[in-house]
A and B are shown apart, each in its own frame.
Chain A
């Protein structure tokens, strides 16, 4: 099977709906098929990556640490849309620092998050084979 480019587009905030967690599970399951996987965080989706989430007061699973495992699953391209962040009063500093370890480069840590404009992300979308929307 030839490798395809899969893009998962996340546009919902975590916790208020089940979309964010479902997307993450699908990505982790899909990663077993060794495709070329990318994630994009657009609109309220950027809230999924906020630092310092603590769900102990709302009796829900805090799945924000799971994003740090994406690198282990060879998901190394995580696009965050700049306009969505700015509109919400956020910068990259408000988000978790996600990295992946390059096995071929003595496990060097490399940044997974790529801050892109809406126009740039549209170009990335155009280059994908399959889009999944959450």
Chain B
């Protein structure tokens, strides 16, 4: 049973990203939205948490916060709202780390 782990809190303020990553199992996906998108900034301490974890990130939330593509670490999938829905569909259930 695959789980889509959704995080919306800044990794610099809460431990939600860190904890969600620890709960990731094979076949699970991690989706960063709202303030959690700050985790993708290259050179940031939080980037190491999600590096190599096949994380997805919501594009409109990146743009709102001024995080350009070249500021991101490699291996992150940027999705739009339709891509968000696709991820929800592709996984058996979702877990929101509030």
Q: Do chains A and B touch in the complex (CB under 8 A)?
A: yes
Point out residues on A near B: beta carbons under 8 Å. Answer: 12-16, 43-44, 47, 50-58, 60, 62, 64, 87-90, 94
Q: Is the CB of A90 within 8 A of B64?
A: no
Query: In the complex, which of the residues B8, B10, B46, B66 contacts A50, with contact meaning CB atoms closer than 8 Å?
Result: B66
Interface size on B, residues (CB 8 A): 25
Which residues of the partner chain A approach B10 to less than 8 Å between Cβ atoms? Answer: 13, 16, 44, 47
> Is residue B19 within 8 Å, beta carbon to beta carbon, of the partner chain?
no
Which residues of the partner chain A approach B34 to less than 8 Å between Cβ atoms? Answer: 15-16
Complex alpha-carbon distance, A87 and B34, angstroms: 19
Known: A16-B10, A44-B13, A64-B66. 13 other contacts (CB 8 A): A13-B13, A13-B35, A15-B34, A15-B65, A16-B8, A16-B35, A51-B66, A58-B61, A87-B12, A87-B44, A89-B47, A89-B71, A94-B71
Point out residues on B near A: beta carbons under 8 Å. Answer: 8-10, 12-13, 34-35, 38, 41-47, 59-61, 63-68, 71
Query: In the complex, which of the residues B13, B38, B59, B71 contacts A57, with contact meaning CB atoms closer than 8 Å?
Result: B59
Complex alpha-carbon distance, A32 and B43, angstroms: 40
Q: Is the CB of A58 within 8 A of B66?
A: no
Which residues of the partner chain B approach A60 to less than 8 Å between Cβ atoms? Answer: 64
Query: In the complex, which of the residues B38, B45, B59 contacts A47, with contact meaning CB atoms closer than 8 Å?
Result: B38
Q: A52-B66, A87-B12 are in contact. Are A44 and B38 (CB under 8 A)?
A: yes
